[in-house]
A and B are shown apart, each in its own frame.
Chain A
Amino acid sequence: ILNVEQSPQSLHVQEGDSTNFTCSFPSSNFYALHWYRWETAKSPEALFVMTLNGDEKKKGRISATLNTKEGYSYLYIKGSQPEDSATYLCASYSGSARQLTFGSGTQLTVLP
């Protein structure tokens, strides 16, 4: 994989559902993987920065895992709430990129 790709592009879930989405990135020359949450009318907010293969990080109901050998990261949200509605961006510093490269994001809508 040459670029950072995120799936799905958008997702609607019911309040209380758990959900997850994927970030794929170049696995060569891996240095760091970032996750950000971007709510409408606000600035992107950092969730996690992960650097080690097998790393798992958690912040409240949100957690993330990292597999640098195969080039993917999962973001999990347990018991989704309407306030979790946002676009979730991942960004990697790996491959031939000289800078942090962002995916197009997963737009999550949590329905009450």
Chain B
Amino acid sequence: GAGVSQSPRYKVAKRGQDVALRCDPISGHVSLFWYQQALGQGPEFLTYFQNEAQLDKSGLPSDRFFAERPEGSVSTLKIQRTQQEDSAVYLCASSPGGEFSSPLHFGNGTRLTVT
């Protein structure tokens, strides 16, 4: 069946540009997570949705980062006025329930390079 799909796969942005990253989770999955992975590090939590409700956005590094999941399925992570330090792989993951005893299903990620 279809897994988690992220687009674009690669994005190059000039410093100061806005970008939007899309995540299509597995159909019916309640929970959706965004992670940021910098080179040589593990994924760092950004934000978490349960259906359309954003329950935790404590990991968003600044007010330039914004995420939404308006209908409880597709999610968009928006980064305004991109900076070089935003260069990273952005991973989206979904899981069927709202607890952490179920594994996360990850997409292939979007590699963002800010020049």
Contacts and interface: CB of A to CB of B under 8 A. Distances in A.
A9 to B, nearest CB: 9
Given A93-B100, A98-B58, A43 B106 contact: yes
A54 to B, nearest CB: 16
B109 A43 contact: yes
B102 interface: yes
A103 B93 CA distance: 17
A4 interface: yes
A51 B101 contact: yes
B108 A42 contact: yes
A46 interface: yes
Contacts of B25: none
Interface of B: 3-4, 33, 35, 40-45, 48, 56, 58-59, 91, 93, 100-109
25 contacts: A6-B42, A32-B101, A42-B108, A43-B4, A43-B108, A43-B109, A44-B93, A44-B104, A44-B106, A46-B105, A49-B101, A89-B42, A91-B42, A91-B43, A93-B100, A99-B45, A99-B56, A99-B58, A99-B59, A102-B35, A102-B42, A102-B43, A103-B42, A104-B40, A104-B42
